Amino acid sequence: MNPHPRRERPPQTKRLVIGQITICRGCCCGNTERGLPEVPVEWLKSEWRKRGLLKRVQLTISGCVGPCDVPNVVVITNSSGTEWLGNIEKVEQYRSLLEWAVRCRDAGEMLVLPSEFHRCRISPFVVRT
């Protein structure tokens, strides 16, 4: 007899989030020793907790998400898809992401990114024609 019977339905989470922000802190991103801009990881984690965002807008500090030729990559994921940002170089940009996440939490949905991030959008995937 199998001690782990197969479930009839897929697993479900009790914690539904409206979105996830993944901050790359891998081999390149935030590597100030290589002359790249800092990623304020501890500040982000502290502010995310202080503002009570974790249960609605998940913050993930990740190893390398690529592409490694673009520093300081941020990946935003929600039920509508995924957006990639690169060259997030200034603390003010991280602060703007934080404030945007607060507005998303308050609205109960992921809102359109502030226009200042339009120039930071990247597409790391090959598009087949």
* Span 21-49, pLDDT tens digits: 999 999 899 999 999 999 999 999 999 99
Instruction: Decide if 94 contacts 21 (C-beta within 8 A).
Output: no
| Spatial separation of the C-alpha atoms in residues 45 and 57, rounded to whole Å | 12
First-to-last alpha carbon distance for the chain, in angstroms, is 51
Contact predicate 72/87, CB 8 Å: yes
Strands 74-78 and 81-85: antiparallel
Q: Name beta bridge partners: 124.
A: none
Query: Does 67 sit behind a cis peptide bond, omega within 30 degrees of 0 on the bond before it?
Result: yes
**What does pTM read for this prediction?**
0.87
pLDDT confidence bin for 5, thresholds 50/70/90 = low
Nearest CA to 123 out of 64, 67, 60, 59 is that of 67
67-85 pLDDT, tens per residue?
Answer: 989 999 999 999 999 999 9
